[in-house]
Chain A
Amino acid sequence: MKVKILFFGILQEASGKQEMILNGINDSDTLQNQLKSLIPGLKDFTFRLAINEEFIDSNCTLKEGDIVAVIPPFAGG
Chain B
Amino acid sequence: MLSYEENIYYSRHLLLKEIGEQGQLKLKNAKVLVIGVGGLGCPVLSYLTGAGVGHIGVLDSDLVEKTNLHRQFLFGTSKIGKPKTEAVINHLQDLNPHISFTEHYLRLMPENAIDIIKNYDIIIDATDNFPTRYLINDACVILDKPFVYGSIDRFQGQVSVFNYTDYAGTKGPTYRCLFPLSPSPGTAPDCSQNGVFGVLPGIIGNLQVIEVIKMITGPGSILTGKVLVVDTLRSSFYSFVLNRNENAVLQAIKLKNNITNFDYNDFCQSTLSDNTKQISAQELNKKIILKDTIQLIDIRENGCTDYIEGCVNIPMSGLDKNINHIKKDIDVVIYCDFGINSLIITKFLTDLGFDNVYNLEGGIESWKNLNENKK
Contact = CB atoms under 8 A, between A and B. Distances in A.
Interface of A: 8-10, 13-14, 16, 18, 40-41, 44-46, 48, 50, 53-55, 57, 69, 71-77
Interface in B1-51: 36, 38-41
B130 interface: yes
Contacts of B151: 73-77
B238 A72 contact: no
B344 A8 contact: no
Contacts of A72: 153, 183, 187-188
Contacts of B191: 75-77
Contacts, number: 120
B239 interface: yes
Given A10-B187, A69-B229, 14 more contacts: A8-B231, A10-B194, A13-B341, A41-B345, A46-B271, A48-B179, A74-B156, A74-B157, A74-B188, A75-B128, A75-B189, A76-B191, A77-B40, A77-B201
Interface in B237-257: 238-243, 245
Interface string B99-129: 0000000000000000000000000011111
B241 A76 contact: no
A11 B194 CA distance: 13
Interface residues of B, number: 54
A14 B131 CA distance: 24
The B interface is mostly helix, strand or loop, or mixed, namely: mixed
Interface in B133-183: 150-154, 156-158, 178-179, 181-183
Interface string B263-292: 000000001000000000000000000000
B369 interface: no
Contacts of B229: 8, 69, 71
The A interface is mostly helix, strand or loop, or mixed, namely: loop
B345 A77 contact: no
A41 B348 contact: yes
Interface of B: 36, 38-41, 125-130, 150-154, 156-158, 178-179, 181-184, 187-191, 194, 196, 201, 227, 229, 231, 234, 238-243, 245, 271, 317, 319-320, 340-341, 344-345, 347-348
Nearest to B151: A74
Contact of B188 (A10, A48, A57, A69): A10
Given A8-B156, A41-B347, A77 B39 contact: yes
11 contacts: A9-B153, A9-B188, A18-B234, A46-B182, A48-B178, A55-B242, A71-B240, A74-B157, A75-B188, A76-B194, A77-B151
Contacts of B39: 76-77
Contact of B130 (A9, A69, A73): A73
A32 B121 CA distance: 40
A6 B187 CA distance: 18
Contact of A74 (B153, B184, B234, B241): B153
Nearest to B274: A44
B18 to A, nearest CB: 27
A76 B238 CA distance: 19
Contacts of B125: 77
A51 B247 CA distance: 22
Among A18, A41, A75: residue with most chain B CB under 10 A: A75
A10 B126 contact: no
A66 to B, nearest CB: 14
Contacts of A74: 151-153, 156-158, 188
Nearest to B236: A6
Contact of B341 (A14, A46, A71): A14
B153 A44 contact: no
Contact of B238 (A44, A45, A53, A77): A53
Contacts of B188: 9-10, 46, 72-75
